[in-house]
Amino acid sequence: MDKLKFNLIAINLFFLTIFNNNLFAVSNVYIVTKVDNEIITNIDIAQEVNYLISLNNDLINMEKKSLVKIAKDSLIREKIKLNELNKNNNTLEIKQDVMENILKNYYEKLNLDSLEQFREYLLSYNINLQDIMYKIKIEILWNQYVYYKYKKLLNVNVEELKKKINENKNKNNKITKYLLSEILFSLNNEENFEKKNSEIRQKIDRNGFKTAANIYSISSTAKFGGRIGLMNESQLSKKILKEIKSIKQGEVTKTIDVPNGFLILKLEDIIVEKFEKNLTKELDNLIKFETNRQLNQFSIIYFNKLKINSKIVDE
């Protein structure tokens, strides 16, 4: 935990500086943005800054203006989703094990060993575990909402997935896994691909991949600096796999054109493991992955539609 303590000292010094700015002054509370009928205050943004830095410490080094923008955009996304859920009288329930699994995923990505460690870690950023659970609840309800809205459009080819499993194990019954991070970005009507792509890559070179992911990625992995985790070869399309195999560990791929935008991947590590001869388990995992991949595409498309139709006004 020594590294953790060091980071917390750095965080405290960082916030002693930015708290002097009026934007973060508790005695001067004001509305920064309205999303339809929902307001976002300077205090909300300050709390969101804490939250985002707690998940990605690389943001400590970011200039204050950019950090505030990331926090503001994050809150706008959350408000848009919450407004849609409330508008549709969302009554979906969240199972306890689902919440527990997501919390575990959060603290493991932070290299913490338990929920209690996670709770203490968050408190050092002035965040309660309940604050995180509220955010997770919105995401779970949103994902469930998208599932029920688009489930009839899901198209998972089980036979193709079986073929992929068999194709991706080598003669020694070994399978290659890639530890990946991502930046998934899209263009609005006024943006040029070459310009935005160049801007993202410059940000990667200057501030690191994790910071660039926080700023530009529209994927849910953005809050963790784009970290996806370990991916089997069978989970990757031939197009993406080809790009990953063309780079070395620590490098990033060319920008890949994908259905819901453009993708840049960073190859963090390569792991070769013994292939599990449990076809049923492998197939179940691949079906879940493919289902989630398609739902993520629907989620992004639908969210962008809602954002266009939302009234977002800066005060």
The pLDDT assigned to 20 comes to 39
Domain count, the chain: 2
Span 210-220, average pLDDT: 94
Per-residue pLDDT at 290 exceeds 70: yes
Domain final residue pick, 91, 123, 151? 151
Helix axes 129-150, 279-309, angle to 10 degrees: 90
Per-residue pLDDT at 93 exceeds 60: yes
Per-residue pLDDT at 15 exceeds 90: no
Span 34-50, average pLDDT: 94
Span 67-84, average pLDDT: 95
Residues 174 and 56 in one domain: no
The pLDDT assigned to 172 comes to 60
For residue 203, is it within any domain?
A: yes
The pLDDT assigned to 2 comes to 46
For residue 209, is it within any domain?
A: yes
Helix axes 2-18, 42-55, angle to 10 degrees: 160
Instruction: Supply the mean pLDDT for the chain.
Output: 87
Amino acid occupying residue 256: I
The pLDDT assigned to 233 comes to 85
- Element (DSSP H or E) covering residue 175: strand 174-185
Tokens of residue 207, six digits: 């501030």
Helix axes 96-109, 129-150, angle to 10 degrees: 120
- Least confident piece of the model among 161-170, 254-263, 279-288: 161-170
For residue 134, is it within any domain?
A: yes
94 compared with 127, residue with greater pLDDT = 127
Residues 230 and 141 in one domain: no
Residues 168 and 144 in one domain: no
Helices then strands, each counted (H, E), the chain: 11, 7
The pLDDT assigned to 26 comes to 52
Per-residue pLDDT at 169 exceeds 70: no
Residue 10 pLDDT level (bands cut at 50, 70, 90): very low
Cα of 252 vs its chain's centroid, Å: 18
Residues 178 and 130 in one domain: no
For 118-143, give one letter per residue: b (16+ CB within 10 A) or e.
Answer: bbebbeebebebeebeebbebebbbb
Residues 51 and 124 in one domain: yes
Q: Three-class SS of residue 163? A: helix
Per-residue pLDDT at 17 exceeds 50: no
Residues 216 and 121 in one domain: no
Range of the domain at 204: 158-289
End-to-end Cα distance, the chain? 42
Residues 164 and 104 in one domain: no
The pLDDT assigned to 168 comes to 64
For 25-52, give one letter per residue: b (16+ CB within 10 A) or e.
Answer: eeeeeeebbbbeebebebbbbbbbbbbb
Q: In the block, which residue shows the tokens 């399978």?
A: 175
For residue 143, is it within any domain?
A: yes
For residue 311, is it within any domain?
A: no
Residues 13 and 64 in one domain: yes
- Element (DSSP H or E) covering residue 257: strand 256-258
Per-residue pLDDT at 16 exceeds 60: no
Residues 42 and 105 in one domain: yes
The pLDDT assigned to 205 comes to 96
- 27 DSSP β-pair partners: none
What are the φ and ψ backbone dihedral angles of 122, each rounded to 5 degrees?
-65, -40
Per-residue pLDDT at 218 exceeds 60: yes
CATH number where 183 lies: 3.10.50.40
Burial class (CB in 10 A: 0-12, 13-18, 19+), 263: buried
Residues 107 and 22 in one domain: yes
Residue 81's nearest CA partner among 306, 288, 287 is 306
Span 62-88, average pLDDT: 93
Q: Where are the alpha helices (H) located in 151-177, listed in sequence order?
A: 158-167
Q: Three-class SS of residue 40? A: strand
The pLDDT assigned to 142 comes to 94
The pLDDT assigned to 27 comes to 60
pTM higher than 0.75: yes
